[in-house]
Amino acid sequence: MSARILVVDDIETNRRLLEARLSAEYFEVVEAADGLSAIEAARAHEPDLILLDIMMPGMDGFETCRRLKADPALRHIPVVMVTALDQREHRIKGLEAGADEFLTKPVDDVALFARVRSLLRLKVVMDELRLRESETEVESDALTLGGRIVVASTDGAAGQRIVDMFEAPFQARLTCEPLETLRHARTADLVVIDLTTARFDGLRLAARIRSDAETRQTPILGIVDSDDRAAMVRALDLGVTDVILRPLDPGEMQARARTQVRRKAYADALRDRLEESLEMAVTDALTGLHNRRYVVSRLRQNLDALERSGEAFAVALIDIDHFKRINDSWGHQAGDAVLKGFADRLRRELRAIDIAGRYGGEEFLILFAGADADDALEASERFRAAMAREPFQAPGSGEPVAVTVSAGITVGEAGDDVEDVIARADAALYEAKSSGRNQVIAWRRRAA
């Protein structure tokens, strides 16, 4: 996996050493000698990861990290602090400043590249979400710092000590069986797996969590022995999001949990915005029905199915009678209320397999799957009767607004394109309108 990495260190020898090691692994390297130039380089070069020294003159690494994470354009970039400082308070301070990882000099190549590749995999996913949801920035400060945590350990007493490390607003629970862990992981914000126990295969459990569609995005924090480098590397390669070394420090455990839960909340918010955007792309904002683009695409799909397998379908084009008169008499708010009310009644009458959308203005298109002309006539007649049976209420005055509709019906035929089907339905609708309105007419081929 290639990527651009920003190396920040005030000592040139350290920068050159890291550059050589990273370049040997085919990473592109950008350098900065202090905090301010690091922020400028991050904006200019958009790195995929930042390796940040702590002990620098002027702005130290902690403050540099805080400023990077406070910038909406930069906060998604993973930051790994690389330093000679190895006190627990330094690790916790770095994590609380927003760092994604904390490595101590001299840095072991295997550990460094395992961490780097793990964070780069996460950034690829995040970048894809951010690219698709580029219009709205999710404010990380608004994201929750609490969450539901599942601690997986076969040693009940040791597992409970881990659970007790999490304070409010975290809600931690202990699971001692892999199947129980998998079940609770589906609603968890973080899964902590003790990889040091010999009574079950924690790496296999982590792999199961990653392979399950419901838990694929759930962060995993693995607990490993400080001298078991192979287990740490293997865990990160399998998709464990972060590792913490024994002996465990409660403050570091809390800080790493906050980092993982915050990142998950950010990714979840991006996914929610993306789903909302996709829904808006195929939905008419006023009526909540599908929009014209969507129903036309589904009509095209029905025509393809007709050509492949002869799967029948029918179409109804429905128009609200004298809609301009409604707007002129009661105002555009009343017109909007009628459109919304029409859509509500239409939804109640539709089968689950039928598709309805606003075709334009006061016209609506319905696709009846597996239906012939008689089926479509019967269904459309129900719609017509439902509209005429009960008037709508004008907003404000509450005056009754009588509404009727007309509809034209046709069926898909071999060799049709979208325009052919719409033209026939429109011709039948025109006949219904011109012959008195408030009726449903099926298109019929005229004799030559």
Catalytic positions are: 362
Strands (E), 271-350: 313-320
Residue by residue, DSSP assigns 109-158 as HHHHHHHHHHHHHHHHHHHHHHHHT-SS---GGGS-S-EEEEEE-S-HHH
How far apart are alpha carbons 236 and 238 in whole angstroms? Answer: 5
Q: Which residues of 49-60 are buried (b: 16+ CB within 10 A; e: fewer)?
A: bbbbbbebeebb
What lies within 8 Å, CB to CB, of 7 at 6+ separation is 15, 18, 19, 22, 29, 30, 31, 32, 51
Give every CB contact of residue 380 below 8 A, 6+ residues apart in sequence: 316, 318, 366, 407, 409, 440
Q: How many whole angstroms separate alpha carbon 443 and alpha carbon 432?
A: 10
Report which residue type is found at 429: L
Contacts of 283 (CB under 8 A, 6+ apart): 289, 290, 291, 294
Structure tokens at 270: 């991006």
Contact 185, 221 (CB under 8 A): no
Q: How far apart are the first and last CA of the chain?
A: 68
